Structure 1
Amino acid sequence: MKKRSLAILAGGMSLALLLSACGPASTPAASPSSEPAGETQQQTAEAEPVTITYCNFNASGGNEETLQRMYEAFHEEYPNITVEIETIAMDDYFTQMQTRVAGGTAPDCYELNIENFASYANKGVLAEITDVDLSSLDETALSAFNVDGKQYGLPGNFSNVVLVYNKDLFDQAGIDYPNEDWTQDDVQAAAEAIRALGDDIYGYYQPLTYNEFYKACAQFGGSLLNEDKTEFTINSPENVAAAQMMADRVLVSNVQPTDVQMGGMGDWDLFMSGRLGMIPTGIWAFQTFTDGCDFDWDITIEPGEVQKATHFFSNGLVINADSEHKDAAATWITWLASSPAAAEIRIEAGWDLPAVNDEETLASYLDITPPDNRQAVFDSLDYLVVPPVIEDYALMSDIIGQKLSAAANGSITVQEALDQAQSECEAQISLS
């Protein structure tokens, strides 16, 4: 487990630097009515009954019951605090939260992903979190939600992406299983061998979307911004090569199905049907695959090109600066992020991982099968890549995503797509 600490250190430091760079250098403006959140948890436990509201997106689509179990365990420990939980699908979540925050109707506490955290913190709509016990949380994960030395969020979880593969299809094709030494050339060769098994069998699935693109860029030695984040580098040769590889797998070799060939089926559904050889996807898929696959599957570190790179995700738990119940909110999110009970429930459910520093708690994760090679989850932490966070992150990702979609369906070339994305980002977004 020592490797994990070192890997998180590198990832956490990068996140902290990104967050500090994407907003004003000054301390975020505080709401006139805001006060730091957090009496001691014992004081909160002895307080009068209180009801708070909590919004999240991460439990949507399969973990609503897991979150409810966490709340029930919390409520046994803090019976005076009632939490009204609202889970909103990711597609609608940030639009709703933006409207609620602007309209003064935001919940007492809520969840933010890394990409959106900095803009909320720099607008002064989050309460500083103080006087709570954070000793069980990973220090560098905490730093991802710290701005100018003040804690405006707690890391509620962390997760990453691995390569999941269908062992049965590899056996049928007579080829070796993927391993940590694989490159994209190995992926392509295996995908072609599996594709040859049948007209409706495919080797690989990685959509040409923004999130997959910035990771592939890193694997090819590229990035979307220059080193000091003052210029866009969207159409660099490395990035073009990464996107071309992704597009060619659909349009040329067809080891990856087109949208028409998918017939409305989701990527996880295709894998669980037994007709997909490999898919890079998040560790939150494990329980779904365990329940839905009637074949043997396992995982390994996601292959790279000139270097390996894989996604790192963490969601911050934050408190509304205008909440009238900051202390109760602080008690809830601290428990949710750091308590052993919440960590055990999260791990047992196969959701994602708690950002705690208790190696014994995390070690229990390795005992759960499938997959057999869960160690790859921790080994992958040596190769984390974080999104290029800027204040206009949503606009940048939308522009790039739209151009990639056009390239994916063949209506424009990859070079044209990235040239257009470069020009539009330069015209619409200031990096100064």
Structure 2
Amino acid sequence: MRVTAKAGVGIVAAGLVLTGCAAGSTGGSDGGSENVTISYTNFISNGGNEENLQTIVDAFEEENAGITVEVTTLPYADYATALQTDVAAGTVSDVFDIEYGGFAEYQANGVLAELDVEDPSVYRQSVLEAYQADGAQYALPSSFSTVVLFYNKDLFDAAGLDYPSADWTWSEELAAAEALTDQDAGVWGDHQPVSFFEFYKVLAQNGGQFLNDDGTAVAFNTPEGIEAAEWLVEKSGTVMPTIEQGQGTPDFDTELFTSGNLAMLHTGIWMFGAFADVPFGWDIAVEPGNTQQASALFSNGVAVSADSENQEAAQAFAEFLTSSDVMVQIRLDAGWELPAISDEAELESYLTRGDPENRQAVFDSLDEVALQPVVGEGQQEMQDIMSEELVEAQAGRKSVEDALASAEERINAVIGG
């Protein structure tokens, strides 16, 4: 396993400064009471998995007599604001959900308790390591998803081309995309969003990194970065539609693929359901790289409050919620995101659930991952600037070199580099 992109910690939001108050626990300290109540605030179950979460909680309570878990479920859209408010007020739950993108900021503020994981080997190491800082564990991964290469088997068959394979590089992908593109017929060979989220990944695939080692400045304005940006923007109008043709608009790529007019699509495994009933054969492969492979990894995690009065019980619940057999079975049965466990035997049923046939690629994509660069309160502005500058290059209003130079200057001004 190799993590191929740096995740830096920069500016810390003032609203996250701890007040020193105790966490929102209703029970006594560990070891000082037979009965302990811990609180858990989440967004992962909102929208249809509330009962599934309760089943996991019930199983935990049955195995851990004397520990009661009080669950609060919030909509994803409200969760980040609510968590920041609770942290600032000192009322954060004993256990709470956290996205990888927000992990570094909370960890830098001392919000998260350091965890002594009983058996780290039960987790996928690349996902587990996403929630580490200075060699210590500060959250546990509850689920993951990755970006892979989707492809239309019928279009490949009609063109007499071999399907994408695990050893493909950018050059093989581009050659296939060129052969499959028929603009007169409205058929395109490839689609990859021109955005921050794709750029940091292809940068890693080309041996570069988005931030410097300590996360205080960008490091993408390099030959590797220029080549990575060119890989994205030069597809437009050649093997991928232009902005004027709709590229970049919401759901454009999904509709193009489901219509049968797109041969290859870079997107996440969360799209399996959306493509389940398309009238053509399709499958997936690990995304090609240039000098190496690197797949974008997205993950939700579970953290324990550093101020929890019941940290032992809280950590026991966090581990059960992220690694127990009960949790794995419920998630797989419900199609409720993938658990970040290492035992592939437990996940075997996932591999045989129909299209895509090559579901093994989901797990293979974890061998080398590109983690989202994170900087703190300037995160959204950094992402927006990068996407804006790449689109300027895609539209031909700037050269790639000028776009990256501008992005470097603007982002460094935001993050203090």
Query: Shorter-chain TM-score category?
Result: 0.7 to 0.9
Distance 1:45 1:256 in 2: 64
Q: Does 1:81 pair with 2:69?
A: yes
Distance 1:301 1:190 in 2: 16
Distance 1:45 1:160 in 2: 42
Matched letter for residue 424 of structure 1: R
Gap change, CA 1:201 and 1:149, over 3 Å in 2: closer
**Structure 1 or 2: larger helix share?**
1
Unmatched runs of 5 consecutive residues or more in structure 2: 63-67
Distance 1:354 1:335 in 2: 12
Gap change, CA 1:81 and 1:97, over 3 Å in 2: closer
Residue in structure 1 matched with residue 404 of structure 2 by the alignment: 418
Q: TM-score, normalised by structure 2?
A: 0.81
Q: What is the aligned counterpart of 1:244 among 230, 244, 253?
A: 230
Q: Does 1:65 pair with 2:36?
A: no
Distance 2:342 2:261 in 1: 39
Deviations 1:231-255 (A, max 9, x none): 53322122112212211212x3152
* Number of residue pairs matched by the alignment: 406
Gap change, CA 1:53 and 1:410, over 3 Å in 2: farther
SS at match of 1:261: coil
Q: What is the aligned counterpart of 2:367 among 382, 392, 403?
A: 382
Gap change, CA 1:109 and 1:81, over 3 Å in 2: closer
Distance 1:99 1:334 in 2: 25
Distance 1:324 1:385 in 2: 36
Gap change, CA 1:354 and 1:46, over 3 Å in 2: farther
Matched letter for residue 430 of structure 1: G
SS at match of 2:367: helix
Distance 1:283 1:311 in 2: 11
Contact 2:144/2:340, CA 8 A, preserved across alignment: yes
Deviations 1:42-74 (A, max 9, x none): 9999737x5845232x567xxx32454233343
Contact 2:177/2:239, CA 8 A, preserved across alignment: no
SS at match of 1:276: coil
Distance 2:51 2:32 in 1: 21
SS at match of 1:78: helix
Matches within 5 A, 1:284-303: 284-290=270-276, 292-303=277-288
Contact 2:123/2:341, CA 8 A, preserved across alignment: yes
After TM superposition, the structure 1 stretch with the greater mean CA deviation from structure 2, 151-160 or 77-86, is: 77-86
SS at match of 2:386: helix
Matches within 5 A, 1:282-361: 282-290=268-276, 292-321=277-306, 330-361=315-346
Distance 1:267 1:45 in 2: 56
Distance 1:178 1:411 in 2: 33
Matched letter for residue 85 of structure 1: T
SS at match of 2:365: helix
Deviation, structure 1 residue 420? 0.6
Gap change, CA 1:45 and 1:354, over 3 Å in 2: farther
Gap change, CA 1:257 and 1:346, over 3 Å in 2: farther
Residue in structure 2 matched with residue 400 of structure 1 by the alignment: 386
After TM superposition, the structure 1 stretch with the greater mean CA deviation from structure 2, 326-335 or 292-301, is: 326-335
Matches within 5 A, 1:110-129: 110-129=96-115
Q: What is the aligned counterpart of 1:267 among 221, 243, 253?
A: 253
SS at match of 1:305: coil
Deviation, structure 1 residue 337? 0.6
Contact 2:59/2:326, CA 8 A, preserved across alignment: no
Deviations 1:299-319 (A, max 9, x none): 112112232222123322123
Distance 2:22 2:376 in 1: 23
Gap change, CA 1:327 and 1:130, over 3 Å in 2: same
Q: Give aligned-pair identity as a percent.
A: 37
SS at match of 2:260: coil
Deviation, structure 1 residue 199? 4.0
Matched letter for residue 48 of structure 2: E
Deviation, structure 1 residue 380? 2.5
Q: Please, what is the CA RMSD of the aligned residues?
A: 3.9
SS at match of 1:65: coil
Deviations 1:350-400 (A, max 9, x none): 454322233321333323322111222233333322233444661433332
Unmatched runs of 5 consecutive residues or more in structure 1: 1-6
Matches within 5 A, 1:204-243: 204-226=190-212, 231-243=217-229
SS at match of 1:267: helix
